[in-house]
Structure 1
């Protein structure tokens, strides 16, 4: 009906330019096939994401005293070493020949803090980006973290491990994912109550939780702590459909597959945050399963573009796949 109305208007007003504006990609393609100009909404759309913000910078030729100071004291106040690349809540790999150090810069503290590859609930980062992600997740001054990366880079695993490592700082860990099936192809209605209906969509989160638990023996304290938290409701699954109106205080809220959310939905989620709440958004903008979003208009890209460099916010892009050689092969060549 919408397409027919636009075509009728085009026929009635040949002197006027008629343009169909829709977020439905399929409708825009049909319109263009019928020689009707069609456009996407520009509001909430990132203009250019070809050089997307990664949250980290590599600097060569850094003064060796800065690197030495970071290893001796844990930080360096010589922020002039960052030069024009200085950004708030940003990660750096500082190099001087064979010597190097990983650092984090915050404008309020005005120092370069050393970042280590330290364990988080049995999970050790395998590369610099993963170390940066864990640092951001466990940084008490950061309340919103976005982690972007292709499949197998460890986004969800790091978010869960970092949250479990801080279980004494927060009352609850809430896990959520958009209820969107692969390629938006649903299997139909699922039986059971609300929790049973969303469980198939939440299985990837449970898989990562079990992977972390399997790092310990069945009788080890940390493995038992995960089971106790699940039994006591301290690890909880929450469908995003019911989040409006809630106020989340003293929780870590992990939203996986955030690329399938609209900018409005992401704003709704973030504005639920109460006192002492940390929100972690993870996703891959190249794996969007809804036809109404693309790499420039999804909620994850929108947040990264609008909040970069702001207080309370930190972003890191993961690039190196660590799941398996087969997963890396698929990411690189398919």
Structure 2
């Protein structure tokens, strides 16, 4: 019972918050529910499902309880988790099937998907040669792909892991960086190293990199290569150009798996440049053995405020309508002549962005 209720009764409070019309009474090893019959049945289903999640070896937290209730509520008019799984039209609708799924056990902990969207993303990686993970920050796009890569390497499904991302600054221009080539590109690749250190013994990483088993490189070094028997991850793909994305995807060799991750709402390319990730999602949609997984604010597994921030920004963008992003310029053709008889040349017209 203490594990079911959570530390400081945090799990029980989350269930109570989800079902405010139901009264929860805990006495010893018994939980009594009272209220309207339909609400009590739904709350009882949530508690039973949390018991199943706990029995599967998943430590319960407030976040786990919140996501479990959300998944159960996504199916309307059901009175049990089994009925929810049957009526959702999605294989991993039952919280236990999602939250108890193990991807990788390493360094004393187990990495698992924590939302239905993440579980679908993991399944897509397992069943497709190329998978696109598109979604906002904090949805586990890179982290879960990295876990899948390490698991595939441990199972000897691939011989090496290749991690890459475009060397594009986020807004600020840092200028020339000091040091050797590795020193210059290291800041751009640091997020990949951080995830790698969470899943592989840090002492073995230099040895694996020296042997070529794990390779971390900027996207600019991918041209001309053919990647066979490798698990390849392209991170921050929204900052690739259309040409770079085509170049990367055509590096695919035999026995390899590719995962492309990015957030099309955080493009750092110069104004007017089409994101390669956005172009690929339009061009390759429907191509066999290529999967597109779109994660949302409900799949955020960072601090609860991250999900609220993403939702607030999306609402603001919808109110503002479709605006051009970045420093875009438009050109107008002027065919009229000035008062001296000279024809005007094409010149950039001022835009609102220029004035700002």
**Please, what TM-score do these two structures have when normalized by structure 2?**
0.56
Residues 228 and 254, structure 2, Cα contact 8 Å, conserved in 1: yes
Which residue is 1:155 aligned to?
141
Which of 1 and 2 has higher RCO (CA within 8 Å, sep 6+)?
1
1:271 aligns with 2:250: yes
Distance 1:135 1:287 in 2: 26
Match of 1:331 among 310, 333, 343: 310
For 1:180, the equivalent position in structure 2 comes to: 168
Range 94-103 or range 147-156, more displaced: 94-103
Give the drift of 1:308.
2.0
Which of 112, 118, 121 is equivalent to 1:130? 118
**Corresponding residue of 1:16:** none
Pairing 1:67-106 to 2, within 5 Å after superposition: 97=78, 98=80, 99-101=83-85, 102-103=90-91
1:203 alignment partner in structure 2: 190
Cα distance in 2 for partners of 1:308, 1:207 equals: 31
The 2-side partners of 1:95 and 1:231 are apart by 54
Q: Tell me the SS of whatever aligns to 2:292.
A: strand
Alignment of 1:194-273 (within 5 A): 194-213=181-200, 229-273=208-252
Could you say what secondary structure the match of 1:238 adopts?
Answer: strand
**Comparing both structures, which one devotes a greater share of its residues to helix?**
2
Could you tell me how far 1:242 is from its partner in structure 2?
1.9
Q: What is the match of residue 293 of structure 2?
A: 316
Q: C-alpha separation between the residues in 2 aligned to 1:96 and 1:237?
A: 49
Matched with 2:280 is 303
Q: Does residue 1:145 correspond to 2:123, yes or no?
A: no
CA RMSD in angstroms, aligned pairs only: 2.5
How many residues are treated as equivalent by the alignment? 220
> Could you say which residue in structure 2 is the equivalent of 1:119?
102
How far off its partner does 1:278 sit?
A: 1.4
Shift of 1:231: 4.9
Q: Which runs of 5+ in 1 are unaligned?
A: 1-92, 105-113, 214-221
Q: How big is the shift at 1:233? A: 2.7
Deviation at 1:230, TM superposition (A): 3.8
Q: Using the alignment, how far apart are the partners of 1:226 and 1:117 within structure 2?
A: 29
